[in-house]
Every structure is written in structure tokens, then in C-alpha cells.
Amino acid sequence: MNLNLKAAAQNTYDAIVIGTGISGGWAMKELTQKGLKVLALERGRMVEHVTDYPTTMLKPWEIAHRGEMPPEDKTANPVVNKCYAYNENTQHFFVKDQEHPYIQDKPFDWIRGYQVGGKSLLWARWTQRWGEHDFEANAREGIGTDWPIRYKELAPWYSYVEKFAGISGNRDGLPQVPDGEFLPPMAMNCLEKHVKSQLDAKYQGRHLIISRTANLSEAGPQQQAVGRGSCQYRNLCARGCPFGAAFSTNAATLPAARATGRLTLRPDSVVHSIIYNEQKKRATGVRVVDAKTKEMTEYFAKIIFVNASTVNTNLVLQNSTSSRFPNGIGNDSGVLGRYVMAHNYRVSGSGSYEGFEDQYYFGRRPTGIYIPRYRNFGTDKQTAFLRGYSHSGGAGRASWGRGNGMPGFGAELKNSLIKPGIWSFSINAMGEMLPYEDNRIWLDDTQKDQWGMPLVHIDVAWKENEDAMSRDAVVQIQEMLEAVGLKNVSARDNHQNPGLDIHEMGGCRMGRDPKTSMLNGFNQMHAVKNVFVTDGASMASTACQNPSITYMALTARAADYAVKELKKGNL
């Protein structure tokens, strides 16, 4: 028998990062740049920037069904087909329904991307900061647990990650969405400017701004240093951006981490559990199942960052049991897997505009307009619900769907199709969800997936506060769109399931009190000091802004703290 007596040493690193999506990519970058030897584990396949974007340069006529998924795929994969970004051009970046089954105790649409880069290849790239109001909300209202940090503590880290990621946007001076380090903003079109002027005139406290977005309007030195270029206004970001203008792990943080020479990247690695050493009272490594061979290997490190995305982070932590932590590593409080949240995207509205027929716009802008929260903010006080919602949307001249029922025949019809249609404007609402103890993720005792992991139960539902907020959003959208002069206005609640927002959060929340939370103000486990969780699982509330820029800032801050503590000998 030949024994590899050096196996443990060969599999030992300074840090292990579980997951390579938006937060995992930042963990890789920060830890390697601070001098640590890092192993990054990704359950999915390798995706190399540019070379592994198979549809990024294809013309519409080069795609079999012009992007539309065939009926058999819609039948076989009903959950992922609900996602706005899933189509023939992007399907290779999504998990099909049967590839990783889960149990819906209540309807929950879990959208996943298993590859190096995760959903950073697919996200909408909207990056509005949280404000002070958001970090104070739980304490102010006695809901959930108090955030252990405030905006002033995260503000410099927002700035830090914005400078590297490259965020186009305008400095608008609004406390709901504090200003950041912005590249030049993308331009509003004429109808968006008109709606903005009408909102300013007719409403107090409702501000239409161009969204802050992680698309490089102008690539600066930090972006150019890792090979990124400026946006080409194609709006094909979810196919994989060959120019690197759309921020992703693959285009930005992974090249930066690789440049240090201190990164080992291991795709096809399903993390089974975290190893806890009873004598040392710390985590010493992770168990990994090879996605292809199903063989298990152990890797060791001084610190571990868990960034597997909210549901899978909860899965890994709950599966990491020991005599010290029989209900999941670090789970002295009993809150692991509980207080899971999502964003409420159920409400939308639209209308048409008569005018501006002599105007159009340049290119295909990869972002839209944003109306920050105005409900239960400032002088606005509601009694029907707590918290509030924001709006995203945009205007355009209809070009899709033309031809059906239009007059004309032959050349006459073809020539008429070249002309753009009428202007339309649409918005949706992104509402905050409160943290509820019985909204939870838990593991099945008997059913396992193909890698030997327990199937996750997802038991998450909207409550009356979210329903009341949705009813209000329908009314407000209808009234606002009519007030700014739109015609044929309609607003609706589609009652979509939680999860389709792709903003799932919670289950391993931050907090001041170890009795009611899992993590401290540096995303460090109260009970296991060398384990950090900096993805969506760490969130104690959702606010009503897109969350990814906050994950980035939390990760960079936690990595800085972890390295300093490691050098002090505290980890």
C-alpha cells in the first residue's frame, strides 16, 4: 500500500473560500492580495472569461429559435423558465430544475447558476447603496435583530468596492441611496426625462434617477489593469460580456486574484461540510465531494469564508455537524436556517405616451431608471405596512412584437416595420420583506442528491405586511403613471413566488447578540471565530435596494478584519 504522507500538507492553505459568485470572488481577491494562500472551491464547472461565452457574439438568426426556449424545455424546467434572464442565449449558465432538486414546502422559485462566477455572470448589475435608515430599521421597529453595524461603518467599504468594480451613476444627494464613487452616468431618454420632470412637479419626495449600475461607462485604470473595457451598449450582458464592461467574478475579481499567484481554483467541487475540531475549538477545513467522480477529499485552512449563495450556504452550515454543534456549525442560537427573506417583485405597471415621435435613443442601454423608496420615509407615514419599496423601470419605443395585425402587405409592410412604434414606460416595485422566524431552510433526513447531500426544504412565504405593501404599490403605480401623462395605464400584482427575485437572504444573520444571531459585525461566527459568512445568508433585513453591492462591501470589510486578526494570532 502506498500512502501519501504529505496529503494533509498538500491540501493545506491559509484560507478557503466556498463559492465563486459575487461575494466569493471578492473574498478571493481580497485575501490573496493581502498575502494569503487561498483555495477557492466552486461546485460548478470552469468558465473562462471570453472563451467560455459561446453565444456572446451570435446574431439573432444564428440562434435556433431566436432565443426562445422550446416547449419541451419549458415543460421539463418550469421553475427556471420563469426567470426573465433564462433563454436560449443564456441557458448554459443556469441550473435546470432536475439537475439539483429541492423540496418546496411552500412555493419558492430557486434560480441558480453553478459555474465559476456563479450568478455574477447573470445578475442585473444594479448597485444602489443602503442608507442609514435601512441599518436602523430593525432596532427602530423591534423587528428581527438589530444590525451590528451602521451605514458609517460600511460607507468606506462601499467606496472601496465601487472604485474597483466600476459603477456608472449620478450623484443625486438622496439619503435613501447615498452617493458613491461613480463613473459617468448613462443617459436617460426623452420620455424618462419627461416623467422625471413631471414627478418632481407633482410629488414631494419621489425622485426618478438613472440607476447606479456595474457597467463601465468609461473603463478607468483599475478596470483596465485586469483587462476590462468600456461598455459597447449591446445589452447582452447575461451572455457573458467579452469586453469585461459588465462586472463579474470572471472579468474582474478572479483575474485580480490570479495575478497574485496565490490562488488555487478548484471547480467541480461540492462542499459537503466544514470540519470542526473539538480540541482546538475552531474549524480546521472542509470536506469536498468531486462533482464528477463523487470522491471525497479534505482540505485544510486557518480561516474559511462561506460564500455559496444563501440557500447553499445554509445547506453547508446545517450539514456541518459535530458533537459540539449537533444542529449545524456555530448554531448555538438556534437561528441557523431561519429568518430567510426575499424581495417582493410582484407589482408592475406600464403605459404609453403620445408624443416625442421625432426622437429616439442611442444603442441598447444595459440599465434603466430607478425611483428610490418614498413610503415610510421622511414625512411619509403609512399604517397599513412597515418599510417600503423602490421602483425600477425605463422607457423605450416599441420595436418588438410589431407586424401582428398591422396594415399593409409585401414591401409596404416591410418598410413600415423599420419605423419604431410608440413610446412606452414601465416600472416595477421591489418591496422589502420582513424577517420571520418561520420562513426557513432546513435539511431532509432521508432524501439526498447525487452528491450525497441532503435535499433542502425551503419553507418561505409572503405575509400580510408584504401583501399590504403590494396592494399599495399597485395603487401608487397606477396613480403616478397617470399623473405624469401616460395613457392606457395598467398596474397589477402577479403574485409570483418568493425566490424569483433571485435576492434570497438570511438564515445565518448578523447581529449584536450571540443568543439571537450567528455572526458579529464583521460577518464572523460568534461561536467559531475563524469562519466568516459574507453572502446573502448573512443579512438581517433586506431593505429595498438590490443587495449585491452590499455583499461586496461586507466581504471586503470582513476579509480585511480576518487577515488582521490572523496576523495577531487571534484566529
166-193 pLDDT, tens per residue? 999 999 999 999 999 999 999 999 999 9
**Using a CB cutoff of 8 Å and minimum separation of 24, what contacts does 293-296 make?**
294/450, 294/451, 294/452, 296/272
Assigned domain for 518 exists: yes
Print the domain residue range for 269.
1-97+111-125+151-161+247-342+437-448+504-571
Name the nearest CA neighbour of 524 among 535, 516, 515, 534.
534
Whether 319 shows a pLDDT value over 80: the answer reads: yes
Whether 3 shows a pLDDT value over 70: the answer reads: no
Whether 10 shows a pLDDT value over 90: the answer reads: no
Worst-scoring range by mean pLDDT, 93-97, 179-183, 339-343, 401-405? Answer: 401-405
Q: Which amino acid is at 87?
A: N
Tens digits of residue pLDDT in 44-78: 999 999 999 999 999 989 999 989 999 999 999 99
Tens digits of residue pLDDT in 410-438: 887 777 777 788 999 999 999 999 999 99
Position 415 scores a pLDDT of: 78
* Residue 197: pLDDT band with limits 50, 70, 90: very high
Tens digits of residue pLDDT in 134-144: 999 999 999 99
How far apart are the C-alpha atoms of 75 and 97, rounded to whole Å? 10
Name the nearest CA neighbour of 529 among 494, 500, 495, 566.
566
Cβ distance 534 to 23 under 8 Å? yes
Averaged pLDDT, 270-298: 97
Position 405 scores a pLDDT of: 65
Position 404 scores a pLDDT of: 62
Position 349 scores a pLDDT of: 98
Tens digits of residue pLDDT in 506-547: 999 999 999 999 999 999 999 999 999 999 999 999 999 999
Assigned domain for 557 exists: yes
Please name the residue ranges forming H helices in 77-141. 132-141
- Cα 185 to its chain centre, rounded Å, is 21
List the CATH number of the domain containing 525: 3.50.50.60
Position 2 scores a pLDDT of: 47
Position 409 scores a pLDDT of: 78
Please name the residue ranges forming H helices in 369-463. 411-418
* Residue 483: pLDDT band with limits 50, 70, 90: very high
Assigned domain for 390 exists: no
Position 411 scores a pLDDT of: 85
- Cα 505 to its chain centre, rounded Å, is 9
Tens digits of residue pLDDT in 227-249: 999 999 999 999 999 999 999 99
* Residue 402: pLDDT band with limits 50, 70, 90: low
Assigned domain for 548 exists: yes
Whether 274 shows a pLDDT value over 60: the answer reads: yes
Assigned domain for 260 exists: yes
Assigned domain for 317 exists: yes
How far apart are the C-alpha atoms of 393 and 382, rounded to whole Å? 24
The phi and psi torsions of 314 (rounded to 5 degrees) equal -60, -40
Whether 294 shows a pLDDT value over 80: the answer reads: yes
Name the nearest CA neighbour of 389 among 446, 347, 359, 354.
347
- Kindly report the number of other CB atoms within 10 A of residue 236's CB atom: 20
Position 399 scores a pLDDT of: 58
409-424 per-residue burial string, b: 16 or more CB within 10 A, e: under 16: eeeeeeeeeeeebebb
Cβ distance 390 to 371 under 8 Å? yes
Instruction: Tell me the pairing of strands 505-507 and 269-277.
Output: unpaired
Handedness of CA 476, 480, 481, 483 (dihedral sign): positive
* Residue 153: pLDDT band with limits 50, 70, 90: very high
Q: Domain count for the chain, please give it.
A: 1
Position 1 scores a pLDDT of: 43
Assigned domain for 51 exists: yes
Assigned domain for 495 exists: no
Percent of the chain having pLDDT more than 70?
97
Whether 400 shows a pLDDT value over 70: the answer reads: no
Q: How far is CA 170 from CA 126, 186, 233, 366, in A?
A: 13, 9, 18, 16
Residue with cell 424569483: 500
